[in-house]
Structure 1
Amino acid sequence: MSRAEPLFLDTPGGARFCLYHPPHGETRGALLYLHPFAEEMNKSRRMAALAARRLAARGVGVLQLDLHGCGDSAGEFHEARWDGWQADVKAGLDWLQARLGLQPGLWGLRLGALLGLDYAARAQQAPARLLLWQPVLSGAQHLNQFLRLRVAGEMLQEGGASGGTAALRARLQAGEVLEIGGYELHPALALALDGVDAARMAAPRCHVDWFEMVPEAGRPPAPASARLVDSWRAGGGEAQLATLAGPAFWTTQEIAEAPALLDASANTYPDTA
């Protein structure tokens, strides 16, 4: 297999750092990887790299893209905006299509999966397919979880937290940039996250493979996930939802791997050998 190729993708918003994994042998597809939010991105780098290599071995070209203000891309985190990330998605898809000559799909983890769903619902041309890893369904709920990190930190300080997430939301609404876990969150991004909800989006116009991690084999998916996929199917959509036993690697204290997820993702492109 070829090694991953580092590159900077020029966009109107600045340079975006990428790793390109060329397809091995006959090209069978292409995927743009959209990483999760804040520290979850760093926790999941190893799993993303392992999966990209596995997919490339199946003939799938993969572009791992650091969104604006994230990783090694231009800009600071407080400069990131949801619509800017949508523009990054389009730039990555255009690059892959020009490179490989076929319509790429989107592969997203956590908030990256919600970003991909939102892009797919808005775009004139649907992605070839969607590969979703533990997708966040509600931007508002995800924002609350992020804000709780700040609340927890304040509780450890003298005097404790003041007002919880409601107080932090009020400060964001007043225009304040908040530092949370080493990341500066701009009110514009927070406001955009509040308005992104997968349940209110149009059903994807492409095949969807959706994988969720569970502590033990055989456990069902989250009820909200099952309801959403059922609604897509009822409307004629093509979606597969499966649970896999393994760690929540995007949030574990130590870097963790989920071999079952690697196998299942590679098997969405069956080995033809």
Structure 2
Amino acid sequence: MTAASTAFFLDAGARGQRLCVHTPAASLDGAGAPLGQILLLPAFAEEMNKSRRMTALAARAFAAAGLEVLTLDLLGCGDSSGDFGDASWADWQDDARIAAAWLDGRALPGPDGAKPPLWLWGLRAGALLAPAAIEAVADRSVRLLLWQPVTTGKLQLQQFMRLRVAADLIGGQAKGAVQAMRDQLARGESVEIAGYRLSPALAHGLEAAQLKPSPRVSRVAWLELSTREDAGLTPAASMAVQAWQAQGAEVRAAVCQGPSFWAATEIEEAPRLIEASLAALTAGDDFATQPAVPPEAVAA
């Protein structure tokens, strides 16, 4: 049985505290050693809030399968210290580093002297924080579990700005809205978008962020969602997967049927995504050769 999750505040020094939820792994071998550790790198702004139920369900499922899970609220998000408008991209990178270091400090070497693998669970733009987390664990085998990843921050920023454009359309003031926001940020001023105050330091850092193939990453589980049962990866995703393979990583990539829960009006669930994730997280040496989506995740 999975032990109960524990909420606590992780010390970020002068930058305050970060609310974390730790879910220990169920003991599957009688010794209590987890099969691996997982760090959630959360989605951006309101996408994070819409995803909370899915990430909580997944964390419990992962822990029941023998993996230790840590989730956190970044600076200015949820119940962590600070305001969203005061956060910079560098702050969030530091948050990813301290969370990864906390998990790393708990990892015990196995009989072979190696620590269990660390999975960085990147949800949407959270994937862009993976390079910072990798920096904090120099001697670990690092793997990526990517849920509908955004691999260029410029795209996430553009999508976020369109929320303001949509609101201005209703008010008849959409003309030049994006350029006006960019001009405001260039002057060092924050902009208000969908109830969030976006600082220049966060906007510029996010826009420059990228997730590129790294030799430090041994496995990548790239999972996307579609309401269609026969959907395939987009051309951009296929190219990214090929780049990771060329770097030497083992890759599983698939599209699971389910709603875009991070952008839904109501809170949605995508159980098939969790099933496909579990199959990837617990796979053995056949990681890259077995179907990326298990039969139970595609059943009608």
TM-score bracket, shorter-length normalisation: over 0.9
Partner of 2:251: 239
**Correspondence for 1:51:** 58
Gaps of 5+ in 1: none
Indicate conservation of the 8 Å contact 1:55/1:266, yes or no. yes
Amino acid aligned to 1:22 = P
Which one of 24, 47, 52 corresponds to residue 40 of structure 1? Answer: 47
Does structure 1 residue 187 correspond to structure 2 residue 200?
A: yes
| Aligned-residue offset at 1:124 | 4.4
The amino acid of 2:54's aligned partner reads M
Contact 1:16/1:66 (<8 A) preserved: yes
Preserved CA contact (<8 Å) 2:38 2:121 = yes
Q: How many residues align?
A: 270
Q: Is the 8 Å Cα contact of residues 225 and 255 (structure 2) preserved in structure 1? A: yes
Within a 5 Å distance, the mapping from 1:30-109 to structure 2 comes to 30-101=37-108, 102=115, 104-109=118-123
Residue 125 of structure 1 and its aligned partner are, at CA, apart by 4.8
Deviations 1:143-192 (A, max 9, x none): 011011111112222x4224121221111111111111111000111111
* 1:139 to 1:242, Cα distance in 2 relative to 1, 3 A: same
Q: CA deviation at 1:206?
A: 2.2
132 and 191 in structure 1: CA distance in 2 versus 1, 3 angstrom threshold? same
Q: What's the counterpart of residue 4 of structure 2?
A: 3
Equivalent position of 1:209 in the other structure:
221
Distance 2:214 2:35 in 1: 27
CA drift of 1:253 comes to: 0.5
- 2:268 aligned with 1:261: no
Give the structure, 1 or 2, with the largest relative contact order (CA under 8 Å, sep 6 or more): 1
Contact 1:126 1:206 survives alignment (8 Å): no
User: For 1:160, which of 173, 177, 183 is the aligned residue?
Assistant: 173
Conserved 8 A contact 1:126-1:205:
no
* Segment drifting more, 51-60 vs 98-107: 98-107
C-alpha distance 127-86 of structure 1, shift in aligned 2 (>3 A): farther
State the partner residue of 1:178.
191
Distance 2:17 2:156 in 1: 27
Deviation at 1:213, TM superposition (A): 0.5
Unaligned runs of 5+ in 2: 109-114, 285-300
Query: CA 1:124/1:269 → structure 2, altered by over 3 Å: closer, same or farther?
Result: closer
User: What do residues 20-64 of structure 1 show as CA deviations (whole Å, max 9, x unaligned)?
Assistant: 001010411111111100000110000000000000001101001
Percentage identity across aligned positions? 43
Native 8 Å contact 2:98 2:136 kept in 1 = no
Letter in 2 for 1:170: D
Contact 2:21 2:71 in 1 (8 A): yes
8 Å CA contact 2:186, 2:200 repeated in 1: yes
Q: Distance in 2 between matches of 1:221 and 1:230?
A: 12
Q: CA deviation at 1:98?
A: 2.0
171-180 or 161-170: which moved more? 161-170
Whole-angstrom distance in 2 between the partners of 1:128 and 1:223: 26
Q: Which residue of 2 aligns with 1:141?
A: 155
**Are residues 215 and 28 of structure 1, via their aligned partners in 2, closer, same or farther at CA, if it must alter by over 3 Å?**
same
Question: Is contact 2:215–2:248 with CA below 8 Å preserved after alignment?
Answer: no
2:154 and 2:137 map into 1 onto residues whose CA distance is 22
Q: Please report how far the alpha carbon of residue 127 of structure 1 lies from its aligned counterpart in structure 2 after TM superposition.
A: 5.4
State TM-score, norm by structure 2: 0.84
Q: Which residue of 2 aligns with 1:129?
A: 143
> Considering only aligned residues, what root-mean-square deviation do their CA atoms show, in Å?
2.0
* Moved beyond 3 Å, runs of 4+: 117-127, 201-204, 269-272
Q: Kindly provide the amino acid, as one letter, of the partner of residue 265 in structure 1.
A: S
1:218 equivalent in structure 2:
230
